[in-house]
Amino acid sequence: MLSIYNTATHKKEEFKPNENGKVSMYTCGPTVYHFAHIGNLRTYIMEDILEKYLRYIGYDVKRIMNITDVGHLSSDADTGEDKMLKGAKREHKSVMEIAKFYTKAFFDDMQKLNIKRPDVVEPATSCIPEFIKMIEVLLEKGYAYGAGGNIYFDTSKLDEYYVFNKHDAEDLQVGVRDDVFEDTNKKNKTDFVLWFTKSKFDDQELKWDSPFGLGYPGWHIECSAISIKHSGEYLDIHCGGIDNAFPHHTNEIAQSEAYLGHKWCNYWFHVLHLNTSSGKMSKSKGEFLTVSLLQEKGYDPLVYRFFCLQSHYRKSLVFSYEGMDNAKIAYNKLVKKIASLCGEGEPNLEEAKPFEDKFKEALDNDLNTSLAVTALYDVLKADISDATKLYLVADFDKVLSLNLIKKANEKDSSADDELAAKVEAFIAERAQAKKEKNFAKADEIRANLLEMGIEIKDTREGVVWNRI
Ligand code: AMP
Ligand code: ZN
C-alpha cells in the first residue's frame, strides 16, 4: 500500500484515489521565459517517479500540466513585470516566440532525463475563456471584487486560508520574492489578482477582451482552471516544488474550492529544493545550471537523474560536481555490471518475488528512491540466475527510468566493436608479417589472439575469426 506525505495534513497518508483504480494528477508546469534549471527538473524527476510508480502498481493515471506563458509576475505578491515579457525583452523577441522556444527546450530536457510527457499539456494562453468563466462565477458568489481596474479574490470570505502552514503577517514574506510593491487596491493583505487590466507595467504584450476589461489572467487561476477543465471537480494529487505551496497552491485551493463549493484536491505532493552551496537555484537570478551545461561538462543527463534518485524528495539536496562525479562512477559501474549478465534462459518469477517486494516496500514508503536503488544493487549481488536479474532490472527501470538495459547493451556492443577493431588490427599485422616471411611473428600473433580467446582460420576468402 502506497503512503505519501501530504503537505495539506502534514502527515504520511495511505493513498486512496477518488475513483477505484484511477488517479488524476496535476503538475504546475514551467514558466517558459528561460531554460529550466536542474532544480526545476529535480521536481519534475520526482513527480515522474510518483507517476510511474502509480502506474507500476496498477493505477490508470491521467497527468495534466500547464505551461505558464502569461501572468506569472516577477513577484508572487502580484506585482512586478510579467516574467514572459521580461524574457521577450531580454531576447528582443515576442512573448509567443519566447514561449515556443522555451517550451520546446523544456520538453527536450524532459526527454533527456527520461521524464514522461504528461498526458495533457495545456498552455495558459489557450484557456482564457475557462479563466474568465471561473472568475465570473467567483464574482457572482461574492468571492471576488473589482478594485482599481483589477479583479481580486477576497480571502476574508474563507473559513481557512492558510491550508499548508500557520502563517502570520511576517511569514507572508516567504512567498514574496524580488520586487515587492504594496498594492493598495487589495482589501486584505492576502487577496490576490484573478484578472489584471491595470498594473504598474502597462506594456503587457498579450491582452484579451473580457467582461472585466481588456487584460490578462493572474498566475494562480491558470492552474485551477486547467486542472478542473481536464480532471473535473475532484483531483487526487497536485504536485509542485515547495516554493509553490505558498502563495500559489494556497491560492489555487482558495479559488477552486470557492468556485466548486466543495473540497477539491486530496493530496499535495511537494518536492524540496535543489540548492547550490550558495543557496537556492533561481531562474530570475540569471545564472543557473542547465541539462545542456551538464552535458557540455561530460555528464550523461541520466547521471543527474541517478543523482536525484539517491536522495529523498522531501529533503533539500545540495548540488555539487563532486556529487555528480560519484553518481557518474556509480552509474557506469551499474551499467557495466548489467552488461556482464548473460540474458539466456527464462527468469524465475518465484525467485524474483522477494526482490520485487523489497523494491515496492521502498517506494510504498513515501517514495524512498534511494532504498529502491539499494534494492536494485541487492538484485545484482544476489545468488539468482542472470535471466532473473535482467528481468528485475528491466522491471525496476519502468519506474527508475535510468535506461539500464539499453545502456548495458550499448556498452556490450561498444565492447564488441572495440574487440573487433583490435582483432582486425592483429590480423592485418599478421598478414604483413607473413608477407615479410616473418613466420615467427605471425605465429606469435596467432598465439596472442588465442590468449584473448580468439581463434583464427586461414580460408580461401581470407582470414576468419571467432570467439572460443
Ligand atoms: P517555474 O518554471 O519557476 O514556474 O518552476 C517550475 C517548477 O520548479 C515549480 O514546481 C517550482 O516549484 C520548481 N522549482 C523552482 N525552483 C526549484 C529548485 N531550486 N529546486 C526544485 N524545484 C524548484
Ligand atoms: Zn500551478
* Partners of 4 in the β-ladder: 13
pLDDT score of 330 more than 50: yes
User: 130: CA distance to ligand 2 center in Å?
Assistant: 15
Q: Which atom of ligand 1 is nearest to the CA of 274?
A: 20
User: 446: CA distance to ligand 1 center in Å?
Assistant: 61
Residue 269's nearest CA partner among 306, 242, 229, 235 is 242
pLDDT score of 258 more than 80: yes
User: 283: CA distance to ligand 2 center in Å?
Assistant: 17
* Partners of 317 in the β-ladder: 274
User: 260: CA distance to ligand 1 center in Å?
Assistant: 28
**How much is the pLDDT for 179?**
44
**Which residue's alpha carbon is at the smallest distance from atom 14 of ligand 1?**
40
**How much is the pLDDT for 423?**
87
Higher pLDDT, 169 or 392: 392
**Which residue's alpha carbon is at the smallest distance from atom 11 of ligand 1?**
241
Of the listed ranges 73-87, 265-279, 323-337, the one predicted with least confidence? 73-87
**Which residue's alpha carbon is at the smallest distance from atom 2 of ligand 1?**
30
| Set of cell numbers at residue 457 | 582460420
For 344-360, write each residue's pLDDT tens digit. Answer: 899 999 999 999 999 99
Q: How far is CA 319 from CA 79, 163, 210, in A?
A: 31, 31, 45
For 228-245, write each residue's pLDDT tens digit. Answer: 999 999 999 999 999 999
Q: Which atom of ligand 1 is nearest to the CA of 273?
A: 20
pLDDT score of 59 more than 60: yes
**How much is the pLDDT for 198?**
82
Q: How far is CA 403 from CA 81, 115, 367, in A?
A: 41, 12, 20
Task: Please tell me the distance from the alpha carbon of residue 234 to that of residue 251, in angstroms, as a whole number.
Answer: 17
**Which residue's alpha carbon is at the smallest distance from atom 22 of ligand 1?**
40
Mean pLDDT of 191-196: 94
Task: Please tell me the distance from the alpha carbon of residue 54 to that of residue 130, in angstroms, as a whole number.
Answer: 29
Of the listed ranges 51-60, 76-85, 127-136, 353-362, the one predicted with least confidence? 76-85
pLDDT score of 71 more than 90: no
Mutate to test the pocket of ligand 1, among 26, 34, 40 (most ligand atoms within 8 A of CB): 40
Rounded to two decimals, the pTM is 0.87
**Which residue's alpha carbon is at the smallest distance from atom 6 of ligand 1?**
30
Q: What domains appear along the chain, each with residue ranges and CATH number?
A: 18-285 (3.40.50.620), 297-402 (1.20.120.640), 409-467 (no CATH)
Mutate to test the pocket of ligand 1, among 121, 239, 243 (most ligand atoms within 8 A of CB): 243
Helix ranges (DSSP H) in 282-403: 291-296, 301-309, 321-339, 349-364, 369-381, 386-400
At 203, is the pLDDT very low, low, confident or very high (cuts 50, 70, 90)? confident
Find where cell 475532484 sits: 234
Pocket-forming residues, ligand 1, beta carbon under 6 Å = 28, 30-31, 39-40, 42-43, 68, 240-241, 243-244, 271, 273-274, 280-281, 283
Q: Which atom of ligand 1 is nearest to the CA of 40?
A: 8
Are 248 and 240 spatial neighbours (Cβ–Cβ below 8 Å)? yes
pLDDT score of 109 more than 80: yes
User: 222: CA distance to ligand 2 center in Å?
Assistant: 7
Residue type, 316: S
* Phi and psi torsions of 35, nearest 5°: -65, 155
Q: What angle do CA 141, 143, 145 make, to 5 degrees?
A: 105
Mean pLDDT of 437-451: 92
**Average pLDDT over all residues of the chain:** 91
Give the list of residues 6+ apart from residue 285 with CB closer than 8 angstroms, or none: none
User: 39: CA distance to ligand 1 center in Å?
Assistant: 6
**How much is the pLDDT for 46?**
98
User: 312: CA distance to ligand 1 center in Å?
Assistant: 17
For 110-127, write each residue's pLDDT tens digit. Answer: 999 999 999 999 999 999
Task: Please tell me the distance from the alpha carbon of residue 348 to that of residue 343, in angstroms, as a whole number.
Answer: 13
Query: Would you list the DSSP string of 223-284?
Result: HHHHHHHHHTT-EEEEEEEGGGIIIIIHHHHHHHHHHHSS--EEEEEEEPPEEETTEE--GG
Mean pLDDT of 15-35: 96
At residue 53, the 3 state secondary structure works out as: helix
**Percent of the chain residues past pLDDT 90, beyond the cut:** 73
User: 283: CA distance to ligand 1 center in Å?
Assistant: 9
Ligand nearest to the CA of 37: 1
Sign of the dihedral defined by the CA atoms of residues 322, 328, 331, 334, in that order: negative
User: 296: CA distance to ligand 2 center in Å?
Assistant: 31
**How much is the pLDDT for 174?**
43
pLDDT score of 323 more than 60: yes
At 287, is the pLDDT very low, low, confident or very high (cuts 50, 70, 90)? low
Mutate to test the pocket of ligand 1, among 31, 43, 45, 63 (most ligand atoms within 8 A of CB): 43
For 158-193, write each residue's pLDDT tens digit. Answer: 998 988 876 655 444 444 444 445 788 899 999 999
Ligand nearest to the CA of 36: 1
